[in-house]
């Protein structure tokens, strides 16, 4: 898929990996539609990425009506949608039992699953329904691409990450069946599983936690750059043979048990 003049939705597009993705897509010539909760950042991103080629809509990815309205606003403004990148997410940490052996609140677990897993599924299914009605964009019959964001925690969750790891394991699990469901329509589905990336989500954690998280990166021995995530998104779009796959982007990191 050549990105020039195509339209891409980026959820969580106002910060971190989503923001870097929006920049990479704009540089590749795409128009971007940002779905995020952060209106203040949204206005800034529209200025930064170019008013005529960028749209921001305040959307909670869990909300069916809000997502559908934002998809409709995107097609009304820019026409057909060819790519969606699901970056909206949260990363809370809580041990299963606290120091007094009280169980973790069920609601916290449910919120993480709802935003990271159900939210990604919600956006994917509604965008896929729109893509299905569009004409193919090339001779191979390609109609679109859905990229989800998992995490290495989906494979090796750390202490306190039961909810986060479960949400990201769910993303990895749905990648292949979603690709199989959508293959007859020429819609591909891939997932990126980042390691430790230098975004506001990670930089908000205490320095000690950041050091512990990045201690096991092999090479290059540093946090991943958000633009390295953006580059992989562009590659996934350009390389039509990449489908149904989850790619780790982690400098060879394998999280140890502690
Ligand atoms: N930073 C890392 O090291 C890292 C590693 C692995 C995976 N990830 C995943 O990458 C994705 C992006 O993370 P990031 O580091 O860029 O985080 P970030 O906090 O910088 O950005 C997340 C964005 O998502 C938005 N968002 C949160 N809940 C939302 C909702 N319900 N509806 C719409 N938007 C919502 C926020 O407003 C924010 O703009 C997340 O899914 C995260 O789990 C990040």
Q: How far is the CA of 140 from the centre of ligand 1 (A)?
A: 33
Instruction: Determine, yes or no, domain membership for 254.
Output: no
In this prediction, residue 210 carries a pLDDT of 82
- Pocket of ligand 1 contains residue 196 by CB under 6 Å: yes
pLDDT category at 213 given cuts 50, 70, 90 is confident
Percent of the chain with pLDDT over 90: 92
d(CA 85, CA 242) in angstroms, rounded, equals: 15
Instruction: Determine, yes or no, domain membership for 97.
Output: yes
d(CA 35, CA 154) in angstroms, rounded, equals: 24
- Statement: the pTM of the whole predicted model exceeds 0.85: yes
Instruction: Determine, yes or no, domain membership for 255.
Output: no
Structural domain harbouring 209:
7-249
In the predicted structure, residue 201 carries a pLDDT above the cut 90? no
In the predicted structure, residue 227 carries a pLDDT above the cut 80? yes
- Pocket of ligand 1 contains residue 205 by CB under 6 Å: no
d(CA 90, CA 178) in angstroms, rounded, equals: 23
In this prediction, residue 204 carries a pLDDT of 86
Instruction: Determine, yes or no, domain membership for 1.
Output: no
Mean pLDDT estimate for the chain: 97
pLDDT digits (tens, 9 = 90+) for 19-46: 999 999 999 999 999 999 999 999 999 9
CATH of residue 60: 3.40.50.720
d(CA 128, CA 132) in angstroms, rounded, equals: 6
Alpha carbon nearest to ligand 1 atom 30, residue: 60
Catalytic sites, residue numbers: 164
Instruction: Determine, yes or no, domain membership for 115.
Output: yes
DSSP secondary structure of 120-139: HHHHHHHHHHHHHTSPPSST
- Pocket of ligand 1 contains residue 123 by CB under 6 Å: no
* Bigger pLDDT: 152 vs 207: 152
pLDDT category at 118 given cuts 50, 70, 90 is very high
Q: Which of 168, 176, 195, 182 shows the shortest CA–CA distance to 253?
A: 195
pLDDT category at 251 given cuts 50, 70, 90 is very high
Percent of the chain with pLDDT over 70: 100
Alpha carbon nearest to ligand 1 atom 31, residue: 60
Instruction: Determine, yes or no, domain membership for 113.
Output: yes
Q: Number of folded domains in the chain?
A: 1
Instruction: Determine, yes or no, domain membership for 51.
Output: yes
Which residues, in sequence order, are CB contacts of 192 under 8 Å at separation 6+?
Answer: 147, 148, 149, 150, 229, 232, 233, 236, 246, 247, 249
In this prediction, residue 211 carries a pLDDT of 83
CA dihedral 188, 124, 59, 199 (to 10 degrees): -60
In this prediction, residue 54 carries a pLDDT of 98
Q: How far is the CA of 36 from the centre of ligand 1 (A)?
A: 10
In the predicted structure, residue 202 carries a pLDDT above the cut 90? no
DSSP secondary structure of 97-126: B-TT-PBPPHHHHHHHIIIIIIHHHHHHHH
Instruction: Determine, yes or no, domain membership for 149.
Output: yes
DSSP secondary structure of 9-68: EEETTTSHHHHHHHHHHHHTT-EEEEEES-HHHHHHHHHHH-GGGEEEEE--TT-HHHHH
Q: How far is the CA of 139 from the centre of ligand 1 (A)?
A: 35
- Pocket of ligand 1 contains residue 187 by CB under 6 Å: no
In this prediction, residue 206 carries a pLDDT of 84
- Pocket of ligand 1 contains residue 74 by CB under 6 Å: no
Q: How far is the CA of 86 from the centre of ligand 1 (A)?
A: 9
């Amino acid at each position: 898929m050549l990105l020039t003049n195509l339209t891409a939705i980026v959820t969580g597009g106002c910060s971190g990996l989503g923001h870097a993705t929006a920049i990479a897509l704009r540089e590749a010539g795409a128009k971007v539609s940002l779905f995020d909760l952060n209106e203040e950042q949204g206005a800034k991103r529209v200025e930064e990425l170019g008013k005529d080629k960028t749209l921001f809509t305040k959307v909670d990815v869990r909300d069916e009506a809000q997502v559908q309205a934002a998809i409709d606003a995107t097609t009304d403004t820019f026409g057909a949608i060819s790519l969606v990148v699901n970056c909206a997410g949260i990363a809370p940490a809580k041990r299963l039992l606290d120091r007094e052996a009280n169980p973790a609140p069920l609601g916290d677990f449910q919120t993480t699953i709802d935003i990271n897993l159900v939210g990604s599924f919600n956006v994917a299914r509604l965008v896929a329904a729109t893509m299905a009605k569009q004409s193919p964009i090339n001779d191979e019959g390609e109609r679109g691409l859905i990229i989800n964001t998992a995490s290495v925690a989906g494979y090796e969750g750390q202490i306190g990450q039961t909810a986060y790891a479960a949400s990201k394991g769910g993303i990895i699990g749905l990648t292949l069946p979603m690709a199989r469901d959508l293959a007859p329509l020429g819609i591909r589905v891939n997932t990126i599983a980042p390691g430790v990336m230098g975004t506001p989500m990670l930089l908000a954690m205490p320095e000690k936690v950041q050091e512990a998280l990045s201690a096991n990166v092999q090479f290059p021995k540093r946090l991943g750059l958000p633009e390295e995530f953006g580059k992989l998104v562009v590659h996934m779009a350009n390389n039509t043979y990449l489908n149904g796959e989850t790619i780790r982007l982690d400098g060879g990191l394998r999280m140890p048990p502690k």
